[in-house]
Chains A and B, each alone.
Chain A
């Protein structure tokens, strides 16, 4: 009520008085941004949205974190160990971590039971957690969630003493450590949670903090302000005092102008105005590329076509089961042309020849994509006119009398994404021109902007479709999930001619063998072999990795924690505000230096 009176006084004051624009803010290290995607909750145990992870990561810590090279570091756990088959993991906690309230008052010490309470909340179906899929890695987690077990003590987590927490898993999980980078494994103070009930995480007051920052202000659709937590166990590494997020529905449009006026410290620069920035001497030095993220984009060929008869699904089913036909599409798709629709300056930087992106995982400093089975694919371009035409002739000969040409290739796109629409049309013209309209007839179709996946991809209403996937933990198996038997992508298990003696397909057997292997080097090699098979047989056409393109920012991206999955990459800890934004040349220089240092750090980490 006081606030409302204040607002009223403000309104009257502005009509009656001349006001000055001076702000009386004391000079603190403050990072300011505008954003348009509002968070819906602070309850990190419920959410699966990236922008909510970004807030939670700065307010609450997990057991582990990563350094700027992606090497795992102690977080709330100071040390850990696992048994030989990676099914039991034990963590020793720090004893100097405090839970504090929104006003910085100490509430309780962090104890092992907090991790048990956190997982109990996530696995209780009535709490509607949307990261439960990750939490069910623990023994009996799925059974408890489904209600088959009601006694939580039977679930694979326990506090063996005040500062020791032990996880027992359903199956050997050598990458479990990386899964702890997800919010569903974060702690919560059980007493506070019980006291707040359904209100937990709805306001800054209904929340407890043990991370680098405390929420000083939380007004959805207006502003949120994070201030440094003075009781934080690692406060010397928190170098930004205040982080101010200002909501603006048109943030994408106004942010570049606000950045130029000095009202914000970071702004994405959309492709539509990137020319203007690069052609302006003053602006040019303030804009740089962003680091790619780990969303992988690929074109999936559908082995279970369920689209309308007018697009000849039966004919598609015949041709898609012919390797030469698939290979002709694989080599005909010009990925650079497609990428130019979103990245006119450095399209090659975003291309990916493999489903698993570069810099995701490594074996003793050797990147996964450079392991022997994948190296030839990684170091070449799938686009090859001669090979495309060669495979076209082979396919036509093999399918003569069996299939109808030109083959109708239904290629839907999400009508809510102009970039996707442009890309699809570019590819239609490019592929038809190269392979000939007598061979393929690419049919571009606008799909719904809402519910596209449930309307188009999941029911199989496509022949060729751009799809993507994001990783959930540090293991190549995370990128195999779209192609698993219960996957909802392109159903490669239905491809004809790949069944082996045990009734499973070659790809499934390769994956099963890899998953059953604990030794990292051997395991990754087997996954690389499976992925190489998937690509060589052209079940999918790897295309690109995600990334937002260009940014004007006063942050150095190479100071941030590096992690392709989970939430620690969202932390501001370790970062400081630069005096001036990084230029693109400086960015490229810093990237080369960082990659070199990272390779050394990864080698050292395995010693």
Chain B
């Protein structure tokens, strides 16, 4: 197991190096007008040249790249240029991560608490009213674009219950709607997959045999069916939890939550290279760590899976 994790981490460092180098180089192809903003129309060409030189954009690309990696080794992601001038990228990200984490983890917890039991109940009552009701909810959430029901919830629920439309961290009431909105889709997803895996499992021969041997339904469901049905979900759970850090672009926009959602898009639009590089590094790392943790989680819940030399889940 340890050997496997070490190998995967080593591969990850190489992958990150490739990703960052490509993104770093591509960012340098952006039009220089973006760095100048409104000043582009007013500065003389000579003044623009001095300005861009001071930003370090006139250094050869390998030199810029070398400086970036040298700073990275000291834990310095650099300072923002056009997004929040002179503020360290680490500070900008840290300020926002907390909001996205709180909402994201809250939404994941809520959707697990509601979605998994719902899926189990739907599987147990297959074809009956609860299953149909749950299926209707799942179909609705999957079929209707999220932006539509997010907006409907914000506009009408706030009006009916006379709630503020905008998030205010010091008013707990304003936390509820964004959290519920965020939990709607993952709840449906967990319920759908849980139901599917449970139904698959319930139809297997060993379950029929256990039933024939008189094993109690409760023991059957929780000790055998649920554990096996949960294995495929366990693989994606770490990545899901980690990626709550990236925030929800639309929910955060709607309710004015100062989280990570949209930060990458904003930074790209403003041509803030340092933030884009920092975020690409963070998000790539999360993706890689999520995959590794997923493999480990599967190995933990499924004793048939062994992570050793030359072996992996995939």
Complex alpha-carbon distance, A25 and B165, angstroms: 18
Could you tell me the distance between the alpha carbons of A248 and B85 in the complex, rounded to whole angstroms? 20
**From residue 95 to 148 of chain B, which have CB atoms closer than 8 A to chain A?**
95-96, 98-99, 102, 106
Residue numbers in B under 8 Å from A130 (CB-CB): 36-39, 43, 51
Question: Across the two chains, which residue of chain B brings its CB closest to A454?
Answer: B33
Q: Which residues of chain A are near B31, meaning CB under 8 Å? A: 450-451, 454-455
Which of A2-10, A351-359, A422-430 forms part of the interface with chain B?
A: A2-10
* Interchain CB contact under 8 A, A21 and B163: yes
Q: Which residues of chain B are within 8 angstroms of A439 by Cβ–Cβ distance? A: none
Q: Contacts of B312 on A, CB cut-off 8 Å?
A: none
Q: Does A266 contact B (CB under 8 A)?
A: no
Interface: B304 (CB within 8 A): no
In the bound complex, residues from chain B placing their C-beta under 8 Å from that of A11 are 102, 106, 172, 175
Q: A7-B169, A451-B34 are in contact. Are A247 and B258 (CB under 8 A)?
A: yes
Contact status B54-A249, CB under 8 Å: no
In chain A, what residue has the closest Cβ to B36? A130
CB pair B253 A250 closer than 8 Å: yes
Give chain B interface residues in 28-84, CB to chain A under 8 Å.
30-34, 36-44, 46-47, 50-51, 54-55, 79-80, 82-84
Indicate if B305 sits at the interface (CB-CB under 8 A).
no
- Name the A residues within 8 Å of B83 (CB-CB): 40
Closest chain B residue to A251 by CB distance? B256
Which residues of A sit under 8 angstroms from B172, Cβ to Cβ? 10-11, 13-14, 17, 19
Determine whether A607 belongs to the interface, using a CB cutoff of 8 Å to chain B: no
Indicate if the CB atoms of A19 and B173 lie closer than 8 Å.
yes
**Is the Cβ of B50 less than 8 Å from the Cβ of A145?**
yes
**Residue contact A249 to B262, C-beta cutoff 8 Å:** yes
How far in angstroms is the closest Cβ of chain A from B145? Answer: 16
Question: Does A221 lie at the interface of the complex (its beta carbon under 8 Å from any beta carbon of B)?
Answer: yes
In the assembly, what is the distance between CA of A125 and CA of B43, in Å? 13
Say how far B257's CB is from chain A's closest CB, in angstroms.
Answer: 8
Instruction: Tell me if A472 and B84 are in contact (CB < 8 A).
Output: no
Q: Is B87 an interface residue (CB 8 A)?
A: yes
Residues in B neighbouring A128, C-beta threshold 8 A? 51, 54-55
Asked whether, in the complex, the Cβ of B98 is within 8 Å of the Cβ of A7, the reply is yes
- On chain B, which size bracket covers the interface? 35 or more
* Cβ B98 vs Cβ A4 within 8 A: yes
Q: How far is the CB of B274 from chain A (nearest CB, A)?
A: 13
Contact at A10–B165, with CB atoms within 8 Å?
no
Q: How far is the CA of A47 from the CA of B270 in the complex (A)?
A: 14
Q: How far is the CA of A454 from the CA of B85 in the complex (A)?
A: 23
Chain B proximity mask over A11-34: 1 for CB below 8 Å, otherwise 0:
101100101110100000000001
Which of A257-265, A371-379, A404-412, A548-556 faces chain B?
Answer: A257-265
Which residue of A220, A261, A455 is within 8 Å of B84 (Cβ)? A220
User: Shortest beta-carbon distance, A155 to chain B, in Å?
Assistant: 16
Is the CB of A321 closer than 8 A to any CB of chain B?
no
Chain A CB within 10 A, most for which of B47, B55, B85, B95? B85
Contact with B along A438-473 (1 / 0, CB 8 A): 000000000000110111000000000000010010
Query: In the complex, are the beta carbons of B33 and A48 less than 8 A apart?
Result: no
Q: Report the Cα distance A227→B97, complex, angstroms.
A: 28
Q: A128-B54, A250-B254 are in contact. Are A133 and B34 (CB under 8 A)?
A: no
Q: Which residues of chain B (149-202) have a CB below 8 Å from chain A?
A: 155, 159, 162-166, 169-173, 175-176, 179
Does B86 interact with chain A (Cβ within 8 Å)? yes
Interface residue ranges of B253-293 to A (CB < 8 Å): 253-254, 256, 258, 262-263, 266, 270
A189 close to chain B: CB less than 8 A:
no
Alpha-carbon gap, A124 to B46, bound state (A): 14
**Interface bits A560-596 vs B (CB < 8 Å: 1, else 0):** 0000000000000000000000000000000000000
Give Cα A254 to B80, complex, Å.
29
Point out the residues of chain B lying under 8 angstroms from A47, CB to CB. Answer: 85
> A49 — nearest CB in chain B belongs to which residue?
B38
Q: List 19 A-B contacts (CB under 8 A).
A: A7-B98, A11-B175, A13-B172, A17-B172, A20-B173, A21-B173, A34-B166, A41-B86, A48-B38, A48-B39, A128-B55, A133-B43, A145-B47, A223-B258, A248-B253, A263-B166, A451-B33, A454-B33, A472-B42
Starting from the known contacts A201-B85, A219-B258, A250-B253, 11 additional A-B residue pairs (CB-CB under 8 Å) come to A7-B102, A10-B169, A21-B173, A40-B270, A49-B38, A220-B258, A223-B258, A247-B256, A249-B262, A258-B166, A261-B165
Residues of A within 8 A of B (CB): 4, 7-8, 10-11, 13-14, 17, 19-21, 23, 34, 38, 40-41, 43, 46-50, 125-126, 128, 130-134, 136, 145-146, 198-202, 219-223, 246-250, 254, 257-258, 261, 263, 450-451, 453-455, 469, 472, 486
Taking Cβ atoms with an 8 Å cutoff, the residues of B that contact A are: 30-34, 36-44, 46-47, 50-51, 54-55, 79-80, 82-87, 95-96, 98-99, 102, 106, 155, 159, 162-166, 169-173, 175-176, 179, 252-254, 256, 258, 262-263, 266, 270
